[in-house]
Amino acid sequence: MSGKQELIDKLTGIKSSRKSYYSELNAIVEEMKKKNKQLEVINRLTQIHVDKSWEEVSSYLAAQLSQILSFDRFVLTLLDHSDLLFYISEPEAAGWSCRFVKRRMVTKTAMSIEEFKKLLKKEIPDHHGTSVCLQYQAGNIYGFLTLLNREKVEYPREELELYRRMGEHVRISIENILLFKDVSEKVHIEAQLIQSAKMAALGEMAAGIAHELNSPLTAILGNVQLLMRDMKDGRPGKMLEDIYQCGLRSKKIIQNLLTFSRQEEYQLETMHLSGLIDDVLGLVGYQLAVSGISIQKEIDPTLPAVRGSRNQIEQVLINLFLNARDAVQGKSNPEVIIGTCLVDLEDRQFVSIYVRDNGVGIEEDNVSQIFNPFFTTKESMKGTGLGLSVSLGIAESHGGKLLVDSRVNEYTQFSLLLPIQENEGGESYE
Ligand SMILES: Nc1ncnc2c1ncn2[C@@H]1O[C@H](COP(=O)(O)OP(=O)(O)OP(=O)(O)O)[C@@H](O)[C@H]1O
Ligand SMILES: [Mg+2]
- Ligand 1: atom nearest CA of 327 is 3
Q: Are residues 351 and 304 in contact, defined by beta-carbon separation less than 8 angstroms?
A: yes
Instruction: Output the pLDDT for position 263.
Output: 42
- What is the number of domains present in the chain? 3
Instruction: Output the pLDDT for position 22.
Output: 75
Q: Which domain holds residue 95?
A: 71-152
The span from the CA of 144 to the CA of 339, in Å, is 45
Q: Does residue 237 belong to any structural domain of this protein?
A: no
**Rounded to the nearest 5°, which phi and psi values hold at 52?**
-75, 150
Does residue 323's CB lie within 6 angstroms of at least one atom of ligand 1? yes
Ligand 2 centroid to residue 351 C-alpha, Å: 23
The span from the CA of 261 to the CA of 31, in Å, is 72
Q: How far is CA 393 from CA 10, 54, 284, in A?
A: 66, 20, 22
Residues 283 and 422 grouped into a single domain: yes
Residues 25 and 87 grouped into a single domain: no
Residues 7 and 87 grouped into a single domain: no
Q: Does residue 122 belong to any structural domain of this protein?
A: yes
| Cβ-based neighbours of 340, under 8 Å, separated by 6 or more | 273, 274, 277, 298, 299, 300, 303, 351, 352, 353, 354
Q: Which of 196, 199, 323 to mutate to test the pocket of ligand 1 (most atoms within 8 A of CB)?
A: 323
Does residue 378's CB lie within 6 angstroms of at least one atom of ligand 1? yes
Ligand 2 centroid to residue 51 C-alpha, Å: 24
User: Which residue, 239, 201, 202, 240, is CA-closest to 224?
Assistant: 240
Closest residue to atom 26 of ligand 1, CA basis: 383
Instruction: Output the pLDDT for position 333.
Output: 94
Does residue 392's CB lie within 6 angstroms of at least one atom of ligand 1? no
Instruction: Output the pLDDT for position 25.
Output: 78
The span from the CA of 29 to the CA of 22, in Å, is 10
Residues 98 and 146 grouped into a single domain: yes
User: Which residue, 428, 404, 429, 426, is CA-closest to 101?
Assistant: 426
Which residues in 379-401 are b (16+ Cβ under 10 Å) and which e?
Answer: eeeebbbbbbbbbbbbbeebbbb
Q: Does residue 94 belong to any structural domain of this protein?
A: yes
Q: Does residue 401 belong to any structural domain of this protein?
A: yes
Residues 281 and 141 grouped into a single domain: no
- Phi/psi region, residue 258 (left: phi>0; alpha: psi -120 to 50; beta: rest), is alpha
Q: Does residue 81 belong to any structural domain of this protein?
A: yes
The span from the CA of 68 to the CA of 60, in Å, is 14
Instruction: Output the pLDDT for position 31.
Output: 83
Residues 318 and 405 grouped into a single domain: yes
Q: Which of 322, 355, 388 to mutate to test the pocket of ligand 1 (most atoms within 8 A of CB)?
A: 388
| CATH code of residue 363 | 3.30.565.10
Residues 13 and 145 grouped into a single domain: no
Q: Does residue 223 belong to any structural domain of this protein?
A: no
Instruction: Output the pLDDT for position 66.
Output: 93
Instruction: Output the pLDDT for position 421.
Output: 57
Residues 303 and 425 grouped into a single domain: yes
User: Which residue, 375, 399, 379, 405, is CA-closest to 387?
Assistant: 375
Q: Strand, helix or coil at 193?
A: helix
- Single-letter code of the amino acid located at 2: S
Residues 345 and 423 grouped into a single domain: yes
Residues in the chain, pLDDT under 70: 1-3, 5, 7-20, 106-109, 199-200, 203, 232-235, 255-266, 380-381, 421-430
Q: Are residues 244 and 225 in contact, defined by beta-carbon separation less than 8 angstroms?
A: yes
Ligand 1 centroid to residue 371 C-alpha, Å: 9
Q: Strand, helix or coil at 217?
A: helix
| Cβ-based neighbours of 188, under 8 Å, separated by 6 or more | 373, 389, 393
- The C-alpha torsion from 57 through 63 and 68 to 70, rounded to 10°, is 110
Instruction: Output the pLDDT for position 16.
Output: 56
Does residue 383's CB lie within 6 angstroms of at least one atom of ligand 1? yes
Q: Does residue 333 belong to any structural domain of this protein?
A: yes
Does residue 123's CB lie within 6 angstroms of at least one atom of ligand 1? no
Q: Does residue 16 belong to any structural domain of this protein?
A: yes
| Cβ-based neighbours of 279, under 8 Å, separated by 6 or more | 256, 259, 314
Q: Strand, helix or coil at 100?
A: strand
Chain-centre distance of CA 414, in angstroms?
A: 13
Residues 16 and 120 grouped into a single domain: no
Closest residue to atom 9 of ligand 1, CA basis: 323
Q: Are residues 95 and 112 in contact, defined by beta-carbon separation less than 8 angstroms?
A: no
The span from the CA of 59 to the CA of 87, in Å, is 8
Residues 294 and 427 grouped into a single domain: yes
Ligand 1 centroid to residue 396 C-alpha, Å: 19
Residues 37 and 88 grouped into a single domain: no
